[in-house]
Structure 1
Amino acid sequence: MTHPPGQPGGGGGSGGGTTGPGREIQTFQFGDLPLRTVMVGGEPWFVTADALAPLGLNRSSLAALDDDEKGVQSLYTLGGYQQMSIISEAGLYSLILRSRKPEAKAFKRWITHDVLPAIRRTGSYTAPAADLDELEVARRYVLALEAKKAIEAELAIAAPKAHSWDTLASGDGDFSVGDAAKILSRDPVIAVGERRLFTVLSDHGWIYRGGDGRWRVYQSAIEAGRLSELPSSHYHPRTGELVLDPPQVRVTPKGLAELHRRLGGMQPLRMHEQIALPAP
């Protein structure tokens, strides 16, 4: 793991739980379990051990996170400064999606309804809103709105790129089940569509249907490097609340090669040829 982007491994300052100027640990309670948070680069990060506990996960789950979703930070504790593993908000959502514990849903709601709103009311941990004058509250509210609009603008610019081949597949990336079916069907002896490929994956014991009827990936298939899950979410059109959707099943190059072999493919896999994409 590395330090979060733009942040040093350690920090100055002492006392009061600070990890450096403008950064301070804040602890929330999920029942009897603490969740320590710290602002890094203007965004909330979470102490990994605290996030794993209510989800019933262990540190092996961190292997599924991207490098920019995890890091190490020097945080002040009662025993002095300690190097502690932390994860970003996106990394936390990814772990929630991987949890099989019933409490994961309540934990997600607590994060989105209590923890993050409490953090973003002020944009930092330096002072609660009650201690701010009306002008400062209004200023921070405007800054929060501007930040939200900036993120929405970046997402709008990035959306068309999702239709490019570079995004859908590369030698180092993975594939949606639909695109994996198209690649496999390039072999004359294989005729498989998206629906049938889902059935094939289920028959091989790589995926299963969750309680909501949506496909989920077995952890064994992830650990074997055959499949991955892509966390997905959307904002509720009426409330603006972030809603976590079921993760998307993705086929890795290793999984694609094994499927090609199991389905009796005769020709070499051609993963780098462009796939016909639907119009945006």
Structure 2
Amino acid sequence: MDNKIEVFKNEQFGEIRTALIENEPWFVAVDVCRALEIGNSSQAISRLDADEKMITLISNEGNKRGNPNMTVVNEPGLYTLILSSRKPEAKAFKRWITHGVIPMIRKTGGYMTDSLLERIQKEPAVIVEFAQALILEKNRVKALECELNTAKPKADYYDAFINPDDCTNIRTTAKELKIPERKFVQFLLKEKYLFRSPSGQLLPYSKDSNAGLFIVRDFVTYCYTGSQTYFTPKGKEVIRMKFQKKCGEELLPKIAR
């Protein structure tokens, strides 16, 4: 089955072709390399881990350059390419992708781009499909707002009484939960709470379900700059329940708050 492509255009970075595969956004690798001015795109793509890239069949409409089989990268793969770029504007590119492209793909399964408008002109039925996606998203937002209103008193209490210093790094959190650190990290990667950067740092995905679970602190040493992920008290409790449900292991009854 071929994957339909949506093209995102930006005056600074040009065109980036994307595909929604199993409800996750994927990006055409050569487009990302071009936008980031990565000279040897083949070499950069070859360095990605196997789970960060794949070859997929692109629809003829989204691929007018001959070969329908193209390499696409997921979010971790995208971030790996961004970090490998020496272009000063790489940070701005990442912000456009993470704050504009990805949220719109996840909300509607598409984006009102020029390519989508062309599809609607050729296939009027597409607008019905797009409208249905918008209706579903609107209903989902309403449901979330109701949940938010119900949870607000508890959230206010949490904000007032939880000390940010209660946040702990991965190793300490694993010890608190009585889980071997290696097993804990494997679980976080498998469940897509975290991904490993090219430098080996474990960082959280930028998605709604991770909101409030982690904080990332930057640090600078004499010869190294990096980031470290910390679990909030809320994050510890969410992960504790998820791990217990997935792995069937009885953990500590509750994280101390």
TM-score normalised to the size of structure 2? 0.48
Name the larger-Rg structure. Answer: 1
1 or 2, which has the higher helix percentage? 2
1 or 2, which has the higher strand percentage? 1
